[in-house]
């Protein structure tokens, strides 16, 4: 399907691997010129043909510098995908195990990086009737499903997207949210990631936790979501084919959330 995105411009954050890399691949395949932000520029990211920018978006000045670089490289911005997130490492435990520094770090990466990137990008997005897609989590709707600072930050990100859509939709900027469930990424599969930490805290092998995760959270598909599936959804939402989709939160979690 032609998404009518050829020669559009985009910034994708958290682009080095996982969902972000899949988004870059989906957009570049449609002819989009992409600036791809990552703490680490991976070989897979270089292979996409995107313009890589190495940046730490948890730093208060990082998002502004990224957007300024993108505007210089691209001449304007049509699409902003706020995918960067995480901060779940070391976050196994209940509410009382999280001190202020953990809350601050998680919100910096999962919420304020998006807030700052949007602030810097909006003048160009308004001028070009652009679109924003924020990557949240189904944990925003089921806050007990993950570390409380992370799910709280994602819930704030989802609310942020709704507010942006209401304010800037009339100015031609479409804002939507994508909320994945467990995705086959390093968060779950890396031996040093959250999945491994969670398995250790439960006293079970890491591979056993990952294999049993879809059933444990009620995914009707019986498998983790693939990054390419999320990337395809985001590319569609960024396209003119989704021109009447504004202010929506698209859950892609294999049916794990049972409520309407």
User: At residue 89, does pLDDT exceed 70?
Assistant: no
Backbone angles phi and psi of 132, in degrees to 5: -125, 135
* Per-residue pLDDT tens over the stretch 34-53: 999 999 999 999 999 999 99
Catalytic residue annotation? 150
Handedness of CA 243, 249, 255, 259 (dihedral sign): negative
Smallest CA-to-CA distance from 117 within 72, 172, 61, 170 is with 61
Q: Where are the beta strands (DSSP E) in the chain?
A: 9-12, 33-38, 51-54, 79-82, 131-135, 174-180, 249-252
Tokens standing for 139? 């944990």
Please report which confidence band the pLDDT of residue 193 belongs to, taking 50, 70 and 90 as the band edges. Answer: confident
Share of the chain above pLDDT 70, in %: 98
Smallest CA-to-CA distance from 248 within 134, 147, 139, 156 is with 134
Query: What is the model's pLDDT at position 87?
Result: 63
Query: What is the model's pLDDT at position 91?
Result: 66
Dist CA 132 CA 80 (whole Å): 5
Question: Count of CB atoms within 10 A of residue 189's CB?
Answer: 16
DSSP assignment letter at 40? S
CA–centroid distance for 181 within its chain: 12
Cβ(126)–Cβ(171) under 8 Å?
Answer: yes
Smallest CA-to-CA distance from 115 within 169, 62, 54 is with 62
Tokens standing for 188? 């779950």
Query: What is the model's pLDDT at position 88?
Result: 56
Average pLDDT over residues 249-255: 98
What is the rounded average pLDDT for all residues in the chain? 95
Domains and CATH numbers, the chain: 9-181+227-252 (3.40.50.720), 184-224 (no CATH)
Handedness of CA 130, 176, 102, 215 (dihedral sign): negative
Average pLDDT over residues 193-202: 89
Helix axes 148-168, 113-127, angle to 10 degrees: 20
Q: Output the DSSP codes for 80-141.
A: EEE------TT--S-GGG--HHHHHHHHIIIIIHHHHHHHHHHHHHHHTT-EEEEE--GGGT
Please report which confidence band the pLDDT of residue 1 belongs to, taking 50, 70 and 90 as the band edges. Answer: confident
Dist CA 226 CA 92 (whole Å): 24
Please report which confidence band the pLDDT of residue 145 belongs to, taking 50, 70 and 90 as the band edges. Answer: confident
Average pLDDT over residues 98-116: 96
Handedness of CA 11, 133, 107, 224 (dihedral sign): negative
CA dihedral 8, 9, 15, 19 (to 10 degrees): -30
Tokens standing for 208? 């056993």
Query: What is the model's pLDDT at position 105?
Result: 94
* Per-residue pLDDT tens over the stretch 54-82: 999 999 999 999 999 999 999 999 999 99
């Amino acid at each position: 399907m032609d998404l009518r995105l050829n020669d559009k411009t985009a910034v994708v954050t958290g682009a080095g691997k996982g969902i972000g890399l899949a988004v870059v691949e989906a957009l570049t395949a449609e002819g989009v010129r992409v600036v791809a932000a990552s703490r680490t520029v991976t070989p897979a990211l270089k292979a996409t043909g995107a313009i890589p920018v190495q940046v730490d978006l948890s730093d208060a000045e990082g998002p502004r510098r990224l957007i300024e670089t993108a505007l210089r490289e691209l001449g304007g911005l049509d699409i902003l995908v706020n995918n960067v997130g995480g901060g779940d490492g070391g976050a196994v435990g209940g509410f009382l195990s999280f001190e202020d520094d953990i809350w601050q770090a998680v919100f910096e990466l999962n919420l304020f990086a998006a807030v700052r990137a949007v602030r810097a990008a909006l003048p160009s997005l308004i001028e070009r009737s652009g679109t924003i897609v924020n990557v949240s989590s189904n944990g925003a709707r089921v806050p007990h499903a993950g570390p409380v600072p992370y799910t709280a930050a994602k819930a704030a990100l989802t609310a942020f997207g709704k507010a942006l859509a209401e304010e800037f939709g009339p100015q031609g900027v479409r804002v939507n949210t994508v909320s994945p469930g467990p995705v086959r990424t390093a968060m779950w599969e890396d031996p040093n990631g959250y999945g491994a930490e969670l398995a250790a805290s439960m006293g079970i092998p890491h591979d056993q936790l990952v294999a049993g995760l879809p059933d444990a959270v009620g995914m009707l598909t019986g498998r983790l979501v693939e990054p390419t599936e999320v990337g395809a959804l985001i590319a569609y939402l960024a396209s003119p084919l989704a021109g009447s989709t504004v202010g929506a939160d698209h859950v892609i979690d294999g049916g794990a959330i049972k409520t309407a």
